[in-house]
Every structure is written in structure tokens, then in C-alpha cells.
């Protein structure tokens, strides 16, 4: 069974975590199931960038992002070549190392 290693994040996962994941499960669902409360303002519908993650290892094992995800990622804070939306990035058959960015852009809460 593949694992997701979440690197330490000062607020969401201070110690980091190593979690078993099922093939086809999204990075976001694995995180939420294990108490890592990554923001997901659009409720996993690929309509925001709050669940932006950076895949530090295992990026090439994942299926390519779709055009809608790419369009959303263009708006993400701290975009990197190995960035994905956690709600769209699915575990395949290799372990992943995930970094949760320090900041996120929530267009809904920031526009109020």
C-alpha cells in the first residue's frame, strides 16, 4: 500500500506524518481522514486553490493534471512545477512526499 509522507507544517502538521493511502484516494482525502485539516473552500470541486500542495517526491507517478486544475493552479500562492491541488491529485502506486505551503489564497474569505 502506498504511503503519503506529509512534511512538517507549523500549524496543520507540526511533526509531519506518514500515512498509508489507497490507490485512487486523493491527497486531500488522506490528509483530512488523518486530522490534517488542509483548507478546501470549494469542497473538493476544483474551483479554488486552498488545497494547493507541492509534491516533493513521487510527482511523476501521478496522472497528469487536467486543464481545469492547471487553470486553478495558476492562481495559487507559491506555485512550483510540482504543485497540485490536493483534491485532484490521486495516489497511484508510489509513495508521495507532500509539502503543504505556508500560505494559501482563499478568494472567498479574503474578499469579505
pLDDT in tens, 34-48: 999 999 999 999 999
Give the CATH number of the domain where residue 99 resides: 3.10.20.30
Kindly report the number of other CB atoms within 10 A of residue 35's CB atom. Answer: 10
pLDDT tens by residue, 42-101: 999 999 999 999 999 999 999 999 999 999 999 998 999 999 999 999 999 999 999 999
Kindly report the number of other CB atoms within 10 A of residue 24's CB atom. Answer: 9
The secondary structure of 10-25 as a DSSP string is: TTTBTT-EEEE--TT-
**Number of domains the chain contains:** 1
Task: Return the closest-CA partner of residue 27 out of 73, 48, 71, 58.
Answer: 58
Q: Look at phi and psi of residue 78 and say left if phi exceeds 0, alpha if psi is from -120 to 50, else beta.
A: left
Q: Which domain, by its residues, includes 58?
A: 3-110
Amino acid at each position: 500500500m502506498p504511503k503519503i509522507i506529509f512534511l512538517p507544517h507549523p500549524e496543520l502538521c507540526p511533526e509531519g506524518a506518514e500515512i498509508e493511502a489507497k490507490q485512487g484516494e486523493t491527497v486531500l482525502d488522506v490528509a483530512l481522514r488523518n486530522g490534517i485539516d488542509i483548507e478546501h473552500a470549494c469542497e473538493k470541486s476544483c474551483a479554488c486553490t486552498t488545497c494547493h500542495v507541492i509534491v516533493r517526491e513521487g510527482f511523476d507517478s501521478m496522472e497528469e493534471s487536467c486543464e481545469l486544475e492547471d487553470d486553478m493552479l495558476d492562481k495559487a500562492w507559491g506555485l512550483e512545477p510540482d504543485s497540485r491541488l490536493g483534491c485532484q491529485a490521486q495516489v497511484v502506486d508510489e509513495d508521495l512526499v507532500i509539502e503543504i505551503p505556508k500560505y494559501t489564497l482563499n478568494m472567498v474569505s479574503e474578499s469579505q
